[in-house]
Structure 1
Amino acid sequence: MKTLIIAEKPSVGKEIARVLGATQKNKNYIEGKDVIVTWALGHLLGLKMPEDYKKEWANWDLESLPLIPPKMAIKPLKNTGHQLKAIKQLANRKDIDSAVIATDAGREGELVARWILEYVHFNKPVKRLWISSQTDKAIKEGFKNLKPSKQYDALYDSAIARSQADWLVGLNVTRALTVRYQDSLSAGRVQTPTLAMVRKQEEKIETFMPETFYTVSLMVDGQKATLIEGAKTKFKDRKEAEELATKLKSKPVKVNEIKEKIQTDYAPIPYDLTELQRDANKRYQFSAKKTLGLMQTLYERHKVLSYPRTDSKHLTTDMAATMKDRLHAVQSFSPDVVKKALKNGGQVTQKGVFNNSKVTDHHGIIPTEERPRVEKMESDELKIYRMVVERFLGLFLPAYQAKKTTYQFLVEGIQFQCQQEEVIEAGWKQVEAPKVDASYKKGETLKKPQFAINKHLTEAPSRLTEATLLQKMEKTGLGTPATRAEIIEKLISSELMERAQNKLSVSPKGRQLLTLVNPTLVTPDLTAKWEKALEEIAASKLKKEVFIKQIEAETTRLVKEIKTSNQVYTDHSLTNKTCPDCGEKLKEKNARDGKILVCSNTECSYRRRKDPKVSMHRCSQCHKKMEIHEGKNGAYFKCKFCNISEKIGDKKNKKMSKHEEKKMLKKYSQSEEEVESPLALALKAAMKENK
């Protein structure tokens, strides 16, 4: 008899098959003596759409809302049905007597596999593979220690609850807004408060008024001492600051107090996903989505990184025994540090990193025992891997120690203060010891003290970056480490938020959405409450049925608020240009390679580029890329610098057939297909039917 193993992706399935010795390859699975390894393609099933429950729910109208099915069910997703069919055939084979869930060890991975097993009516014993890295060693040990799937039933309930809650709130609120205001307006329990955070920061910038103020400082041996808090430290009027400086100028300055303190800073513990995304955004301007993608590749393909979708930073106590092997793996990155650490028996100096109670589904992100093949890594993958290695090696280095000396100077009853820092042990910070400044004795009178007046201007708050937004999302409990990147990308793709030079801003459409949507969806409080409830379900402290009843009630209230709202909506994407086919106004939309103009009339299919497409064809005179223009006789190249025109195809002006012209257009230009959400497409179809 054989065991059916279900992985989440083909690449992972093939690796599991190799480790387990399965070699008989088929299109949808790999078979071995005792196992058959197959795979999903991400989610193969999803919750049914409204029209799958009732035909009348296919119509987009306010009267039918809210849509709350008596029992939510699943259905196969388009384009992946062939794989689901193959898994069903495998599951029904007479020589299959059990199954192993080998999808990603987390909430969504559990949902992927459980839905498949539920759909194919699998009623044989099921076990769970739960591993935090994809190395051969981890896979072998994981299969030696398989867990009963029942042990993860609560996690599955949590995944179902999350999926159904998003369907109920997201679909109903989005449909209500879209129909009510006749434009594609997407809202959700996590994405809307995330958008509101970005807008709140913008409002701070918009209302900011710069102010000038002055400070007085005491200059001692080239070092600046500042007024101590408690005294008046800032002056709006320069004259007031000058009066203070003049008053103190001729007075004796004494060393009033000296405080010495030994500061010890331990190395930071390993990254969790959100912190790594934040740091990668600060250091390399990587988007959260890009960082996660790079980490997945390092985890799955290169096998040099532990499971990335984790919200833990600590390690389990049993991992202390694996430190030597991991150090050997990263030796080439910092030979001296690794050599010292191995000489010390691979013992970490940061003992607090091992804490079972602070590890959730997965431990912090660290290197695996697999030696990296740097030559096979892309430069961006290497950047992320180096960040993880640097953080990991810090665990074996001594703590940073410095002596901090604080001097307080007294003049005419007013105190100034300055600090000096002397490095005792550079430790993990690996910094050079700074030059020690002049030292003083208590009661000493300073020689030739000088007072300076400093002019300052208050600075406006900065726009949020993905790093700062991720930090705010984490702090307020919006989303999970695995979903935050996806939420940010969804807001950008739905044209509610914009990203420029690593700064985030809310689009006119997004600003208006925040005024139309329900106030409770704008704040993170409701979502944070739901996320906490999902955690309680995963911990078997709350029944998913109780949670879903609360969500249904909340959905009904939210839809009612939208229906009775008196808000007015203005479509900011409408331009003053008119459609040549029907005369309606054209709307500006984002496409894959620039802006396009489409007709606002849903029954009209007119569309064109806003600006000419830049081709890969070079101008014969200035050698710069030429634009593609449309004329009476078809498409042609034009150089905007030299104003030279050229027929597409033959430079000898040989006439081309329409087929040849299309072929050349395809060669010299890229796809200009509009990126449009399924919601927008569904809305267009619904509005056409209603007309």
Structure 2
Amino acid sequence: MRLIVAEKPSLARAIAEALPTPATRREGYLEAGDTWISWCLGHLLEQAPPERYDPRYKQWRLDDLPIVPQRWELMPRSQARGQIAVLRKLLKQASSVIHAGDPDREGQLLVQEALEYLGWRGRVERLLVQDLNRPAVARALGNLEDNERYRALYEAAQARARADWLYGINLTRAWTLIGRQAGYDGLLSVGRVQTPVLGLVVRRDREIAAFEPKPFYVVWADLEVAEGRLRAWWLPDESQPLDEQGRLLDPRPAQKLVQQLPGASGHLSELEQKRKRQAAPLPYSLSALQVDAARRHGLSAKRVLDVCQSLYERHQLITYPRSDCRYLPRAHHREAARTLPSACRGDSTLSAWIDAADFNLRSKAWDDAKVGAHHALAPTGRTADMNKLSQDEANLFRLIARNVIAQFYPALETFETQATFVILEERFQAKGREILEPGWKPLFTTRDEAPPLPPLTRGEPAKVLDATCEEKETRPPEPFNDASLIKAMMNIARYVEDPEVRRTLRDTDGLGTEATRAGILETLLTRGYLVRDKKALRATRTGHALIDSLPAAATRPERTALWEQRLSAMADNQDAPAPFLTALVADLQGLLGEASASRMNDALRAARQREAPEAPASPKRGTKRRTSSRSTASPRRRKSGESASSTSSSNRRRKPKRSS
């Protein structure tokens, strides 16, 4: 018998439906002719806790750190024992095995680690399914590959899991212990992604708290030109008192100029006019969708991920959602004239957009060279019954479909003008934009554009009809919200101070992955390090104290972003796990050497004096704390995230759920 091991039951069902023989349901698997299709339940296995390596690690002691296993062990997750037994029985009878994990680093790991744990030594083929529609699954079944081709991807995922365990276990234990010495009786978890994200929010909150608004002044003048009127703004030169953004800080020059302007004459000294073409926004990656959905529909990043999983697994309306790619395969372009109308005919808005689409157009979104393990989110072609979707499901499906439909619309064409006038020896500037071809733009907004400038000719005269000096005030940076924090994680190079590292990180995937970013935000909220203040995300006093007590390097994004870079290199067979883990242990020893109870005490004292929200109450000493090794990011699967359980089962009082 041939055994196919899928990542989850929904994928197993989709595979069974694509086979020529109807499937029969068995206990823990499906049987279709000479094929068994079974499944994992996300990760069936987890990293063994420290006490599995040595019983003395049941008690947390600084002297035992760092804990570094010499031979790594996995153990079954408690809720997965039954399914492990099913797979063990099937593997003993199987003649061949097909790995059908999701087409990414973590999907490669969770099936392959189960096969190796259960002792399978035969050849394994790899099935890569991008969407769950029967034709797509059938095509994938006809294009099996040798799983050995993906050995490097597996080793990269395995290195990630071990590195997260090392980092989370050791630093969480260390900082929880020094927290106790300083009088804080709660868990202080540290993670290679979670903590830098918290650091971003803490630093933003402090910028806002320290911000002192300052007035600045702008002058505009209404001008009469040969063929109409326009408004132009004064461009003060460097002889004026300006801030670093070129804003005028002293009202007196502005007030003096305004008194002289009415009736004054000048001329158009510089005229720049350009015709521009702008292609449609690319189809969505998960993070790009999370940013847009937060702005348009007020959805949290976690909610977007959950809804996308429902659209993918339950409704089978979209392709694999945990994608970091914004491009589509060329083969999808050939099928789009059939799949998109079929997918969208259940919605009047989408149908109207489809009717105006030109399927002969090919945008830059169709690029095989830029498609890796995943492609961008797209409709599968199954018709969406909008009456059976929740409001959130319908809203996200429309967004995903819209961005793909937009690829079959012409480019947005505009005529942009920048005019500079000289009046009373001072420069004034006006800008205008005229839409020549709306193209894809109406699919994204119905807002009216600002009126274009009247026709202009270089050197023509201009007369001031009116002028005003307006007092404005500098504004603090906006607090982070779900959209802006996800965007910051995607574009983490902007928050890196070292110019060399910043250049390196511009081409990486940022902080965290598509699959983990939503879970990281929810973990910080659950652990009381962040709170939601309306739509804003703010750090609590506990969050501030934790960041202040840690070495600065542990709170900034450089380390974890460079981790992801090395993991990507491993997945591409350009790096090896052993040197990476050896360097990490050396790094950990340096960080642990900076654990200081006195520094923690100072941080806690400072936090109590801050204008920051309180964290949820911590358990009192002597009380028991029920915990689970399951991820707070996903109740069913920990996907390419950080380490799971970081403590022993006997240390119930302050045992963390995960060190991430």
TM-score range, shorter chain: 0.7 to 0.9
Q: 1:53 to 1:191 in 2, by over 3 A?
A: same
Matched, 1:219 2:222: yes
Equivalent residue pairs, number:
593
Preserved CA contact (<8 Å) 1:311 1:360: no
Q: 1:314 to 1:560 in 2, by over 3 A?
A: same
Instruction: Give the Cα separation in 1 of the matches to 2:546 and 2:251.
Output: 46
Matched, 1:18 2:17: yes
In structure 2, the partner of 1:401 is 413
Residues 227-268 of structure 1: per-residue CA shift (max 9 Å, x gap): 236465643333331111223335322233333211211111
Preserved CA contact (<8 Å) 1:598 1:605: no
One-letter amino acid of the structure 1 residue matched with residue 96 of structure 2:
S
One-letter amino acid of the structure 2 residue matched with residue 487 of structure 1:
I
Mean alpha-carbon deviation: is it higher for 69-78 or for 250-259? 250-259
Q: 1:527 to 1:361 in 2, by over 3 A?
A: same
One-letter amino acid of the structure 1 residue matched with residue 353 of structure 2:
V
Q: 1:68 to 1:681 in 2, by over 3 A?
A: closer
In structure 1, the partner of 2:475 is 459
In structure 1, the partner of 2:534 is 501
Calculate the aligned-residue CA RMSD, in Å: 2.6
SS of residue matched to 1:487: helix
Q: What is the correspondence of 1:655-674 to structure 2 with a 5 Å cutoff?
A: none
Preserved CA contact (<8 Å) 1:58 1:686: no
Residue 99 of structure 1: how far off its partner (Å)? 1.1
In structure 2, the partner of 1:650 is none
In structure 1, the partner of 2:621 is 601
One-letter amino acid of the structure 2 residue matched with residue 200 of structure 1:
R
Preserved CA contact (<8 Å) 1:208 1:460: yes
SS of residue matched to 1:79: helix
One-letter amino acid of the structure 2 residue matched with residue 269 of structure 1:
L
Matched, 1:525 2:564: no
Larger radius of gyration, structure 1 or 2? 1
In structure 1, the partner of 2:243 is none
Q: 1:17 to 1:164 in 2, by over 3 A?
A: same
Residue 435 of structure 1: how far off its partner (Å)? 5.0
Preserved CA contact (<8 Å) 1:198 1:504: yes
Preserved CA contact (<8 Å) 1:23 1:31: yes
- Name which of 637, 652, 659 aligns with 1:685: 652
Instruction: Give the Cα separation in 1 of the matches to 2:585 and 2:645.
Output: 24
Mean alpha-carbon deviation: is it higher for 3-12 or for 261-270? 3-12
Instruction: Give the Cα separation in 1 of the matches to 2:31 and 2:157.
Output: 30
Residue 407 of structure 1: how far off its partner (Å)? 2.4
Instruction: Give the Cα separation in 2 of the matches to 1:195 and 1:605.
Output: 24
Residue 380 of structure 1: how far off its partner (Å)? 0.6
Q: 1:259 to 1:181 in 2, by over 3 A?
A: closer
Residues 580-623 of structure 1: per-residue CA shift (max 9 Å, x gap): xxxxxxxx974xxxxxx7762315899xxxxxxxxxxxxxxxxx
Q: 1:203 to 1:564 in 2, by over 3 A?
A: closer
SS of residue matched to 1:561: coil
Residue 154 of structure 1: how far off its partner (Å)? 0.5
In structure 2, the partner of 1:125 is 123
One-letter amino acid of the structure 1 residue matched with residue 595 of structure 2:
I
SS of residue matched to 1:427: coil
Q: What is the correspondence of 1:257-656 to structure 2 with a 5 Å cutoff?
A: 257-332=270-345, 333=347, 334-341=350-357, 344=358, 346-350=359-363, 352-430=364-442, 436-447=452-463, 449-476=465-492, 477-562=510-595, 566-568=599-601, 590=616, 600-603=620-623
Residue 340 of structure 1: how far off its partner (Å)? 4.0
Mean alpha-carbon deviation: is it higher for 293-302 or for 505-514? 293-302
One-letter amino acid of the structure 1 residue matched with residue 436 of structure 2:
I
Instruction: Give the Cα separation in 2 of the matches to 1:459 and 1:442.
Output: 37
Residue 538 of structure 1: how far off its partner (Å)? 0.1
SS of residue matched to 1:249: coil
Mean alpha-carbon deviation: is it higher for 165-174 or for 36-45? 36-45
SS of residue matched to 2:216: strand
Q: 1:383 to 1:437 in 2, by over 3 A?
A: same
Q: 1:284 to 1:337 in 2, by over 3 A?
A: closer
Preserved CA contact (<8 Å) 1:161 1:544: yes
Instruction: Give the Cα separation in 1 of the matches to 2:624 and 2:56.
Output: 25
Residue 22 of structure 1: how far off its partner (Å)? 4.2
One-letter amino acid of the structure 2 residue matched with residue 195 of structure 1:
L
- Name which of 239, 259, 278 aligns with 2:252: 239
Instruction: Give the Cα separation in 2 of the matches to 1:473 and 1:458.
Output: 26
SS of residue matched to 1:92: helix
Preserved CA contact (<8 Å) 1:255 1:444: yes
Matched, 1:140 2:145: no
- Structure 2: unaligned runs, 5 residues or longer: 181-185, 241-245, 493-509, 609-613, 627-643, 656-660
In structure 2, the partner of 1:618 is none
One-letter amino acid of the structure 1 residue matched with residue 389 of structure 2:
M
Q: 1:138 to 1:569 in 2, by over 3 A?
A: farther
In structure 1, the partner of 2:637 is none
Instruction: Give the Cα separation in 2 of the matches to 1:599 and 1:163.
Output: 29
SS of residue matched to 1:91: helix
Q: 1:447 to 1:560 in 2, by over 3 A?
A: closer
Residue 525 of structure 1: how far off its partner (Å)? 0.9
Instruction: Give the Cα separation in 1 of the matches to 2:190 and 2:388.
Output: 41
Residues 276-327 of structure 1: per-residue CA shift (max 9 Å, x gap): 1111111112111110111111111211111111111112233322222222
In structure 1, the partner of 2:501 is none
In structure 1, the partner of 2:213 is 210
Q: 1:314 to 1:589 in 2, by over 3 A?
A: closer
Q: What is the correspondence of 1:181-200 to structure 2 with a 5 Å cutoff?
A: 181-182=179-180, 183-200=186-203
Preserved CA contact (<8 Å) 1:60 1:686: no
Return the structure number with greater relative CO, CA threshold 8 A, min gap 6: 2
- Structure 1: unaligned runs, 5 residues or longer: 576-587, 591-596, 607-676
In structure 2, the partner of 1:9 is 8
Instruction: Give the Cα separation in 2 of the matches to 1:239 and 1:202.
Output: 34
In structure 2, the partner of 1:657 is none
Instruction: Give the Cα separation in 2 of the matches to 1:108 and 1:304.
Output: 23
One-letter amino acid of the structure 1 residue matched with residue 371 of structure 2:
V
